[in-house]
Amino acid sequence: MTKGDQRVESAADKLETFVKNAQAGGGVKAKVGAAMSDDPDFLRKLKPSLIKARAQGKAPTDEPPGGTRSAPSGPQLSRPKPPQQKKNGGGPSPFLVIGAALGVGYLLAKAIDWRGHAHPHN
């Protein structure tokens, strides 16, 4: 455990003691203590070594809120495989569709304009 981890852990312990005392106090203190009840667990997740491990992909980043972390039940022999991304059906490029729509629109406008000269409204 690094010096930074020790400082974060001691701050979380102090905050946890404050929260317990505040909740036992009653009145406004109890409301403040209830509002801050999840903060010690959150503060423990901010240890520098855990942040470094999450940045390197060695620690999970999708833990459910609340609760504390527990060790795995058995040895972790292999790295889990990342899920494969599925392709969303493929299809033509959106730029190709937009270009085709512009081309068809241009040709349709020219055809309407050309037919308009056949029957002038004077």
Q: What is the DSSP string of 95-106?
A: HHHHHHHHHHHH
30 is written with which tokens? 């109890």
What is the rounded CA–CA span in Å between residue 95 and residue 52? 41
Q: What's the chain's average pLDDT?
A: 81
**30-34 mean pLDDT:** 85
* Residue 67 buriedness (CB in 10 A; 0-12 / 13-18 / 19+): exposed
Residue 96 has a pLDDT of 95
Top pLDDT among 74 and 14 is at 14
Look-up of token digits 């392709």: 87
What is the rounded CA–CA span in Å between residue 106 and residue 36? 64
45 is written with which tokens? 């997740």
Residue 91 has a pLDDT of 83
Q: For the whole model, what pTM was predicted?
A: 0.47
Q: What dihedral angle (degrees, nearest 10) is formed by the CA atoms of 26, 27, 30, 31?
A: 160
Closest alpha carbon to 60 in 82, 39, 75: 82
Residue 107 has a pLDDT of 95
89 is written with which tokens? 């059906």
